[in-house]
Amino acid sequence: MYEGNYLDAVRAFQKAVSIDPTDREVLGLLTTVYDSIGEKQLAVKTKVRMQTLNVSFSKKKEVEVPSIKNDLRALANSYYNRGLYDSAVVCYSLHLMNNRDDTAAIFYMANAYFYNKEYPKAIENYELLLSKDRNRADAYNLMGVSYLRLNDYLKAREQFRQSVLKDEKFAASYFSLGEVHYALEDFRLAQVNLEKAYELLPNDKEVLLLLAKIYKQTKQREKALGTYEKLMQIDTKSASLTYEIASLYFDAKDYEKAKTYYLKALQIEKNPNINAGLGSVYLNQKMYKEALEQLNIAAKVFTEKKELLYQAAFAANQCKEYKTAEAYAAQAFALDPKYKNAILELAYACHALRKRKEAKKYEQMASVL
């Protein structure tokens, strides 16, 4: 205690009390230790024990004395609840030396390791817990998440499977299985498990986001739109969700709806990706002036995107801004000397600028591609 090793002191004093529960000197020192580490509730509990002993001795009869058997676990829980996981682990470990079958302590110690990102130790303790209680769906799930954090997808998958076998309504494990299958690019099983998670957690944002992403990647446009619309009901001011809906309408060639959502997204957030999408919509609607305005904004940021630069060149040529068109087309050409669309826009701009020699050169390049 005087060396400041308070947790070891707690264990030693508790062991002393277990040998002689009436030793008031030890209880006094234990109270001092609890006060030193800021554990007022445990300090008060120990003082009450001392007072009860005083009453017991003065009345010469048995009086019920508060137990301190689980004080180390209570101390561990206090650290755990305050996010002091290193100290929580120490206390749980000391408690478990004399209470090896306390599955609650094992579980929270495993969680403390998990939150500290010490995943191998977390797994070791979840396994210890499961050796004593095989029906813990929550432990299987958290062990699976630990493997997931270690990028061991196959072992993670097995733990999540065990979790849903133990509890078929354990939604978190269905979601985690969806994550694993998605990472393994098994989109069919990812969808199956995420749809089960959705049945159990219909308003969970993470479930809906990953499900929408899978629908979009597997070209299930109507389901993707429905899921993103559901997400929009949860988060009405999300620019990213609005952008995703706009891009789905764009892919479906519903340019009016795409434009509506891109404009809505821009009202929420200034983002060049949104400008690029809106510019593409305007191009398809042959609104070249509006397209060029949006593409100009995006092209200043995405200088390595040849398709975007080509679109900006095309819109500029249609607006008779030939120098601008030449500059954008030249940028795209520099990125890819065999990009035919950019070369054609470069030739068109050069013709308009009466650079006949350059125009002829680019026309010849395009003709052989």
Identify the band that residue 41 occupies on the pLDDT scale cut at 50, 70 and 90. low
286 plus 325 within the same structural domain = no
340 plus 357 within the same structural domain = yes
Query: Which of 170, 85, 93 is closest to 128 using CA atoms?
Result: 93
Domain boundary pick from 285, 302, 319:
302
307 plus 350 within the same structural domain = yes
298 plus 323 within the same structural domain = no
320 plus 345 within the same structural domain = yes
The answer to whether position 275 is within a domain reads yes
349 plus 327 within the same structural domain = yes
pLDDT of residue 209: 94
As a whole number of angstroms, the distance between CA 297 and CA 274 comes to 10
270 plus 249 within the same structural domain = yes
Identify the band that residue 282 occupies on the pLDDT scale cut at 50, 70 and 90. very high
Mean pLDDT over all residues of the chain?
87
pLDDT of residue 49: 54
CA-based end-to-end distance of the chain: 83
The answer to whether position 309 is within a domain reads yes
Q: What is the mean pLDDT of residues 231-255?
A: 92
Convert 110-126 to b/e letters by CB count within 10 Å (16 or more is b): bbbbbeeebbebbbebb
Q: What is the DSSP letter of 169?
A: T
Q: Minimum mean pLDDT among 35-39, 201-205, 365-369: which range? A: 35-39
The answer to whether position 72 is within a domain reads no
Query: Is this prediction's pTM over 0.75?
Result: no
The answer to whether position 278 is within a domain reads yes
As a whole number of angstroms, the distance between CA 112 and CA 38 comes to 20
The answer to whether position 180 is within a domain reads no
The two structure tokens encoding residue 349: 């701009």
The answer to whether position 296 is within a domain reads yes
Here the CATH number for the domain that contains residue 361 is 1.25.40.10
As a whole number of angstroms, the distance between CA 330 and CA 313 comes to 9
Backbone torsions φ then ψ of 4, nearest 5 degrees: 85, 10
Query: Which of 68, 67, 95, 66 is closest to 79 using CA atoms?
Result: 95
364 plus 307 within the same structural domain = yes
Q: What is the DSSP letter of 254?
A: -
pLDDT digits (tens, 9 = 90+) for 61-120: 443 433 445 678 888 888 888 888 898 898 899 889 888 999 999 999 999 999 999 999
Q: Crossing angle of helices 322-335/340-352, nearest 10°? A: 150
Domain boundary pick from 251, 281, 302:
302
The two structure tokens encoding residue 338: 């065999």
The answer to whether position 288 is within a domain reads yes
317 plus 297 within the same structural domain = no
Specify the number of domains making up the chain: 2
pLDDT of residue 62: 43
Other Cβ atoms within 10 Å of 285 Cβ, number: 14
pLDDT of residue 48: 53
The DSSP-derived string for 8-43 is HHHHHHHHHHHH-TT-HHHHHHHHHHHHHTT-HHHH
As a whole number of angstroms, the distance between CA 119 and CA 245 comes to 37
The answer to whether position 344 is within a domain reads yes
Burial (CB < 10 A; 0-12, 13-18, 19+), residue 10, is buried
Quick check: 224 and 241 in contact, CB under 8 A?
no
320 plus 291 within the same structural domain = no
Backbone torsions φ then ψ of 365, nearest 5 degrees: -60, -45
Domain boundary pick from 278, 302, 326:
302
295 plus 310 within the same structural domain = no
346 plus 329 within the same structural domain = yes
Q: Could you give the C-alpha distances from 334 to 263, 290, 296, 302, 304, in angstroms and in order?
A: 32, 26, 18, 14, 10
Q: Could you give the C-alpha distances from 19 to 11, 14, 30, 111, in angstroms and in order?
A: 13, 9, 14, 32
Range of the domain at 242: 237-302
pLDDT of residue 98: 82
